[in-house]
Amino acid sequence: MKKLMDFRKKMSAVLMASGLIFAMLLPIQASAADIAFNEPLNGVNPNLFYTSDGWANGPDFGVGWKAVNQEFVNGIMALRLDNAGCPASCSGKNYASAEYSTHVKYGYGRVEARLKAASGVGLVTSLFTYSGQGTGTSNDEIDIEILGKDTTKMETNYFTNGVGQHSTIINLGFDASLDFHNYAFEWSPSFIKWYVDGKLVHTENGSRGTLPTSPGYIMVNLWSGSGPAEIWTGKFNYPGMPVRAYFDWIKFKPAN
């Protein structure tokens, strides 16, 4: 199962374009930040975050990224997946959705978000860091992913120099699509620890593979699996109306 889950190529690991084009589309790279932030998500914050717009990932993703699919209402950010104008205005994809990323990369520390996941076979709600390398190059990444086919579970994973196969499935004990919960991971040179509502649920210490070392953008998104990724996500069938993942806030605290 883990091998199949790692068969998919993550959000920024595989693009339809070349690695050069990918680099142009990502936020401007900067050195690792060591300043804490607490983003309340009351509206777009262009000083801290970047909204993906006008492009798409590779064949594993069924969505094109559109800024208009990001919504802010009453202090909550919604990432909306729909089929408006697709595929013509959705970078050739059948659906459109939204993604939000920091402008700069962050190093060791704690990444946390309060969110309510989207429900539905084929959907993925994600909170992760990504080192921002292009197609055909290595990348470091740390993941929290909730698959819409079973929102009572969370998947943890990490990639080092593009090598994954470190997936672990966590039974949450609740349905993540019904209410907001806090999801976090702490990253240090010697461990990655994942938390749900402040409770430690999983630890990686490098025994299954070298831990990441490269700083990464802090990112959230909602997407549907397509092509090879359907082995992992299941096949998405549009329900006839938009689906949303909701985020209350995103935080980062650097390691001491």
Q: Which residues are catalytic?
A: 141, 145
CB 209 within 8 A of CB 166: yes
Cα distances (Å, whole numbers) of residue 163 to 17, 61, 138, 209, 245: 21, 20, 8, 9, 28
Nearest-angstrom CA–CA distance, 207 and 219: 26
CB 117 within 8 A of CB 176: yes
Nearest-angstrom CA–CA distance, 236 and 116: 19
Residue 244, φ and ψ in degrees, nearest 5: -140, 145
